[in-house]
């Protein structure tokens, strides 16, 4: 299970941490596919989805997930560019900063639109309880990924080596599941 979470972190954090994310080919694409499959299987089981609902949800996840990743990548690029502009002791270009800030706001608006559109689409094949439960599961997954990002960042800042992963082990004190 710990390996699963580390893989989830590696794949989901890549665009946010500034890594170039080529098309979903190779190892990153395979890892993303594994994570999405496990999450999808878990969702289907816990929400008691029909095969038709599961297929529709997978299609929505693929489409909206790709849109989200694009916006996340763009926001990450904007954040890096803004950081470059705001270096101490260097005069920032006000016009560039304004454009970057406008872009950041537009990116947040895009994410909200993606969320609304996805929820509207899911409303066509999931009942309200299933939709709410799905949102909870996805939120828990993202919280866990964010926790792992923070832990990874702390270790990197402290100069600590990355933890060794032994297959079949999960972090102490963590509950099993999403």
Average pLDDT value for residue range 76-82:
96
Diameter of the chain measured on Cα atoms: 60
**Whole-number percent of the chain with pLDDT over 90:** 52
**Residue-level pLDDT at 90:** 85
Q: How far apart are CA 178 and CA 168, in angstroms?
A: 16
Of the two residues 15 and 128, the one the predictor is more confident about is 128
Question: Where on the phi/psi map is residue 173: left (φ > 0), alpha (ψ -120 to 50), or beta?
Answer: left
| In the chain, where the domains are located | 1-49+133-178, 61-125
Instruction: Please determine, for residue 61, whether its predicted confidence score (pLDDT) is greater than 50.
Output: yes
Residue 23: DSSP 8-state: S
| pTM tops 0.85 | no
116-172, pLDDT tens digit by residue?
999 999 999 999 999 999 999 999 988 988 898 888 888 888 887 666 554 544 444
- What is the average pLDDT across 43-48? 95
Question: Which percentage of the chain shows pLDDT scores above 70?
Answer: 76
Query: What is the DSSP-derived secondary structure letter of residue 126?
Result: S
Across the chain, mean pLDDT equals 81
Structure tokens at 116: 């609304």
């Amino acid at each position: 299970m710990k390996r699963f979470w580390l893989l989830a972190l590696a794949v989901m954090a890549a665009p946010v941490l500034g890594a170039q994310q080529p098309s979903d080919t190779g190892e990153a694409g395979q890892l993303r596919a594994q994570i999405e499959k496990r999450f999808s299987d878990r969702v289907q089981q816990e929400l008691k989805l029909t095969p038709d609902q599961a297929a529709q949800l997978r299609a929505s996840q693929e489409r909206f997930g790709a849109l989200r990743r694009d916006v996340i990548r763009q926001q990450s690029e904007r954040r890096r560019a803004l950081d470059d502009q705001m270096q101490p002791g260097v005069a920032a270009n006000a016009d560039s900063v304004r454009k970057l800030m406008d872009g950041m706001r537009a990116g947040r608006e895009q994410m909200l639109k993606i969320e609304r559109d996805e929820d509207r689409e899911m409303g066509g094949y999931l009942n309200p309880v299933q939709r709410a439960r799905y949102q909870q599961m996805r939120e828990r997954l993202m919280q866990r990924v964010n926790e792992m990002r923070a832990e990874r960042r702390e270790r990197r800042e402290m100069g600590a080596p990355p933890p060794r992963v032994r297959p079949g082990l999960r972090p102490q004190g963590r509950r099993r599941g999403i």
